[in-house]
């Protein structure tokens, strides 16, 4: 067997070389391709299915034989976490969203700011001591710093290496400070790079971005699924695991710390850098992820009145947190706002500069827990709502994530429904952006009434024949065929009555929350200069479709903008600039969190927006 293997992931065409015997899952992590593995790659869940189209791999394991049929394996289906690479292999992603993480965030929600980080490197030549100048080594270093310095402290580790570093290269040294603290000192010939990592610790996906803190340039990116998913796909399940298991919190924290460390290592390796040159890490995540990462008790986040342990901006020792960077480096956690409005929401507000705008703007992060932030021009209001997982493809009959074969867009052409799939492959299901289009199209074409009911045969008889033929079933089993067997891989892809109800619940929660926030500050949709949609989902939805189904307040479509992974962008900005870091503190201090969903008014509005206009 060769010493190294190579895996090419299709349809993206991304290749990576790895040691022979590594699994396809490990190759995906090295390539920056995310494969769904809720069990953390242990072979328990059977979700990391791929198709090996060419190349030599290991024989199927016992776990693969449990999760895959003989027919599936004959077609090349394998579990990525169990299949070892033994040469050049070509893999087609079968069931999971592909996240290409080599793409920089510039142009994807990341604005330009002057580089002013908390970490600095100085190359200095220090006057040699003498009988006439008996200042300590530390004092001579402190006095040699630029005049802008008013105070310098030192870690004991840096002091231990200071004397030898000064004398190893004729008093020429390279030192690094984090804040006002001297954390690293080396002879000039061994000067370090000055690096930092921004981490977006999401419930489903974790991403890390490596930055050169002297130039602000993004050097590498790595991402993968959150391995905490083996304890539950949502934050409530993870809180329950922590509550019901004596070792639960330790397990969840260990998974979070490990995945962050692995991604930092991957990003550093991509850039050909050294972990000891990483001096700071900034972290965003929802309040539950924040608590689990730090090992803080999450129990009371799920109990009224949903109080976090802390919402403050935190700067902690990397070694104390368990993050493997320079041993005297720091971990900076952006502040949270409330139990269900976390540092990720603060990151979105930082990225969008909401409170620096002169006109009202609404930011919406659509997910299982929808987070909203409204800037009125004078006040910043935040809220959360339980939107459910429908827009992520869960609880939908043929729902899936944005993978090859997923219907991502739907249009009406010559009076009939036409679908587009990711990769132009046969339809296998429908993802979030496709669901928004589907809802808009079936409403526009008269296949669904204002109450969200698929029309009966009596009404459908008045529809054009091509549309009427798409209606099947009776009552609760009523459904609309979006892609028939000739267009699909595994039978027709349909849009069911239950699917529509799930989308109604999700859109009603988001719309009711948006409208109530506007009313709290005496505004209407007409007053909004812009609606910002955060997250990957927002990049692909059609604003016109979102408006047609009533997901968002009624504004002209050109006022709706996607700002990509704004939470990750906020973490990067806080790493690049102390000004933006302080801005995050200001946001958390001035934000007014509004608890909406328990009020009778919310229930009334929720019921109102269940209807389609």
Round to whole Å and give the CA distance between 45 and 79: 10
Whether 366 and 390 have beta carbons less than 8 Å apart is answered as no
Whether 383 and 339 have beta carbons less than 8 Å apart is answered as no
> Quick check: bond before 206 cis, omega within 30?
no
In order, the DSSP letters of 352-401 are HTGGG-SS-EEEEE-SSEEEEEEE-SS-EEEEEEE--SGGGTTTSTTB--
The residues pairing with 120 across neighbouring beta strands, listed in sequence order, are: 177
Most confident of the ranges 129-133, 471-475, 510-514: 510-514
In the chain, list all ranges with CATH 3.30.420.480.
Answer: 98-333
Most confident of the ranges 87-91, 111-115, 471-475, 525-529: 525-529
Most confident of the ranges 46-55, 134-143, 214-223, 290-299: 290-299
Write down the pLDDT at residue 103: 35
Q: Is the pLDDT of residue 29 over 80?
A: no
Percent of the chain whose pLDDT exceeds 90: 65
Residues 97-135 as b/e (b if ≥16 CB within 10 A, e otherwise) read: bbbebeeebeebbbeeeeeebbbbbbebebeeeeeeeee
Q: Is the pLDDT of residue 353 over 60?
A: yes
Whether 162 and 156 have beta carbons less than 8 Å apart is answered as no
Round to whole Å and give the CA distance between 496 and 485: 16
- From the list 350, 322, 356, 361, the residue with the least C-alpha distance to 575 is 350
Whether 310 and 323 have beta carbons less than 8 Å apart is answered as no
Write down the pLDDT at residue 450: 93
User: 169 in helix, strand or coil?
Assistant: coil
Q: What is the mean pLDDT of residues 365-387?
A: 91
Pairing assessment for the beta strands 88-93 and 49-54 based on DSSP bridges? antiparallel
Listed in sequence order, the residues at least 6 apart from 328 whose beta carbon sits closer than 8 Å to its beta carbon are: 155, 157, 158, 178, 181, 183, 184, 317, 318, 319
Q: Is the pLDDT of residue 454 over 90?
A: yes
Percent of the chain whose pLDDT exceeds 70: 95
What is the rounded end-to-end Cα distance, in angstroms, of the chain?
Answer: 64
pLDDT in tens, 207-250: 999 999 999 999 999 988 788 877 877 888 899 999 999 999 99
Beta strands in 76-194 (DSSP E): 77-79, 88-93, 119-125, 153-154, 172-178, 181-187
Q: Is the pLDDT of residue 336 over 80?
A: yes
Q: What is the mean pLDDT of residues 164-183?
A: 92
Write down the pLDDT at residue 159: 94
Whether 584 and 346 have beta carbons less than 8 Å apart is answered as yes
In the chain, list all ranges with CATH 3.30.420.40.
Answer: 353-389+503-608
Q: Domain 353-389+503-608: which topology?
A: Nucleotidyltransferase; domain 5 (3.30.420)
Structure token digits, residue 513: 């929350």
In the chain, list all ranges with CATH 3.10.20.30.
Answer: 4-93
pLDDT band at 192 (very low <50, low <70, confident <90, very high): confident
DSSP single-letter state for residue 402: S
Note the CATH architecture for domain 4-93: Roll (3.10)
Half-sphere exposure of 200 (CA within 13 A, CB side): 29
Half-sphere exposure of 1 (CA within 13 A, CB side): 16
- From the list 202, 241, 255, the residue with the least C-alpha distance to 368 is 202
pLDDT in tens, 401-422: 777 889 999 999 888 999 999 8
pLDDT in tens, 556-582: 999 999 888 899 999 999 999 999 999
DSSP single-letter state for residue 303: S
Note the CATH architecture for domain 98-333: 2-Layer Sandwich (3.30)
pLDDT in tens, 100-117: 333 345 444 467 899 999
């Amino acid at each position: 067997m060769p010493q190294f293997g190579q895996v090419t992931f299709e349809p993206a065409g991304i290749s990576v070389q790895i040691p022979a015997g590594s699994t396809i899952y490990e190759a995906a992590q090295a390539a920056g391709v995310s494969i769904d593995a809720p069990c953390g790659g242990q072979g328990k869940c059977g979700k990391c299915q791929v198709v090996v189209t060419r190349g030599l791999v290991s024989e199927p394991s016992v776990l693969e034989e449990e999760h895959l049929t003989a027919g599936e394996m004959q077609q090349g289906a394998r579990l990525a976490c169990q299949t070892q690479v033994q040469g050049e292999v070509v893999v087609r992603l079968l069931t999971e969203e592909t996240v290409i993480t080599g793409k920089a965030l510039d142009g994807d929600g990341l604005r330009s700011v002057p580089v002013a980080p908390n970490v600095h490197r100085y190359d200095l030549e220090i006057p040699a001591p003498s009988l006439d100048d008996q200042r300590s080594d530390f004092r001579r270093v402190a006095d040699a710093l630029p005049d802008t310095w008013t105070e310098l402290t030192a870690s004991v580790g840096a002091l231990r290496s200071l004397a030898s570093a000064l004398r190893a290269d004729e008093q020429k040294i390279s030192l690094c400070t984090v804040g006002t603290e001297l954390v690293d000192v080396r002879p000039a010939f061994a000067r370090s790079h000055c690096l930092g990592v921004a981490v977006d610790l999401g419930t489903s996906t974790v991403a890390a971005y490596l930055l050169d803190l002297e130039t602000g340039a993004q050097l590498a990116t790595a991402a993968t699924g959150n391995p905490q998913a083996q304890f539950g796909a949502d934050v409530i399940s993870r809180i329950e695991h922590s509550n019901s298991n004596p070792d639960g919190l330790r397990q969840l924290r260990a998974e979070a710390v490990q995945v962050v460390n692995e991604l930092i290592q991957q990003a550093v390796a991509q850039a050909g850098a050294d972990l000891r040159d990483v001096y700071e890490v900034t972290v965003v995540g929802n309040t539950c992820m924040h608590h689990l990462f730090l090992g803080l008790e999450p129990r009371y986040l799920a109990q009224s009145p949903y109080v976090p342990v802390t919402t403050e901006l935190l700067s902690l020792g990397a070694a104390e947190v368990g993050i493997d960077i320079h041993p005297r480096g720091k971990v900076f956690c952006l502040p949270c706002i409330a139990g269900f409005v976390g540092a990720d929401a603060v990151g979105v507000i930082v990225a969008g500069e909401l409170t620096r705008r002169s006109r009202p703007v609404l930011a919406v992060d659509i997910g299982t827990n929808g987070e909203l932030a409204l800037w009125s021009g004078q006040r910043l209001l935040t809220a959360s709502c339980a939107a459910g997982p429908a827009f992520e493809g869960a609880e939908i009959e043929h729902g899936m994530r944005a993978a090859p074969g997923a219907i991502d867009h739907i249009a009406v052409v010559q009076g009939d429904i036409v679908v587009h799939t990711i990769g132009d492959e046969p339809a296998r299901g429908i993802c979030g952006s496709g669901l928004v289009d589907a809802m808009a199209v079936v409403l526009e074409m008269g296949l669904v009434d204002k109450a969200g009911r698929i029309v009966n045969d009596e009404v459908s008889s008045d529809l054009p024949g091509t549309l009427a033929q798409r209606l099947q079933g009776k009552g609760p089993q009523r459904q609309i065929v979006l892609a028939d067997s000739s267009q699909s891989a595994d039978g027709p892809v349909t849009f069911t009555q239950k699917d529509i109800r799930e989308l109604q619940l999700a859109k009603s929660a988001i719309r009711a929350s948006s409208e109530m926030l506007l009313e709290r500050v005496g505004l209407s949709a007409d007053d909004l200069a812009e609606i910002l949609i955060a997250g990957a989902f927002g990049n692909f939805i059609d604003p016109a479709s979102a408006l047609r189904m009533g997901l968002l307040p009624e504004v002209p479509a050109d006022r709706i903008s996607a700002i990509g992974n704004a939470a990750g962008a906020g973490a990067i900005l806080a790493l690049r600039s102390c000004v933006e870091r302080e801005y995050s503190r200001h946001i958390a201090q001035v934000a007014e969190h509004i608890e909406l969903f328990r009020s009778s008014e919310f229930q009334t509005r929720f019921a109102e927006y269940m209807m389609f206009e």
